[in-house]
Amino acid sequence: MLCCSEDGKKAIPKEYRALTEKLFSQGGSKWGRNTVEDNAGNFAKMLGISADYSRNLTACSKGEDRDRALDTLLFSFQNNMDLLIQKTWVEKSDENRKEDLQDRLPVLIASIKSENYQKAMLEFGAILEELAYLFFGPQSTKDDFTEYTFRIDPQIGLFWWYGCQLGSLKKTDKNKAPNNKSLWALLLIGICYLTNF
């Protein structure tokens, strides 16, 4: 996962801190409550993707058109990711990282379509780690990565802080892990953000 120090929390601007503390600190029995989905929706609003997030959360969750809506979302996500990866300039020695990253996208998409959100979340975290490296180089592996991204732009900082937090969802104890509905809500944040990046 992305390298995030405890000091990264200090880099979060005050106006965002209350919500960011709630988003990934649900733990225990609270994971099953609607607070995760509510906090994810509010976080999407801070990232500027609220309308897209809400529309896709509803369209891709239920109903007859669920599969079509999910296919449309994932097609747009993969197309934009392919563009981001292809347009990223890297040293010749890192070209294989771009290819490896593109090879991971179908695995993520298959996990989402099969509703294996725990696997999808782990795969998405690995994808974000590689994407951060392509964008920021070795800086993405340093302890001050979160602070670095907040200095670039608060929304970019929030997104990469979110990417760092995905590692906290690798709980094996079912009582401490988020349910599928919560995992989908959290995963959808990143998908919507990168689809519109």
pLDDT of residue 93: 78
SS3 for 5-17 is CCCHHHHCCHHHH
- Do the domain assignments include residue 148? yes
- Do the domain assignments include residue 8? no
pLDDT average per 10 residues of sequence, the chain (197 residues):
56 77 59 68 93 93 85 96 89 85 96 93 93 91 90 91 79 62 92 95
- Do the domain assignments include residue 50? yes
pLDDT of residue 32: 45
pLDDT of residue 16: 78
Domain limits for position 131: 20-195
Distance from C-alpha of 134 to C-alpha of 162, rounded to nearest angstrom: 18
The total number of residues shown for the chain amounts to: 197
Nearest alpha carbon to residue 133 among 103, 166, 163, 112: 163
- Do the domain assignments include residue 1? no
- Do the domain assignments include residue 114? yes
Distance from C-alpha of 101 to C-alpha of 79, rounded to nearest angstrom: 13
Q: How many domains does the chain have?
A: 1
pLDDT of residue 95: 84
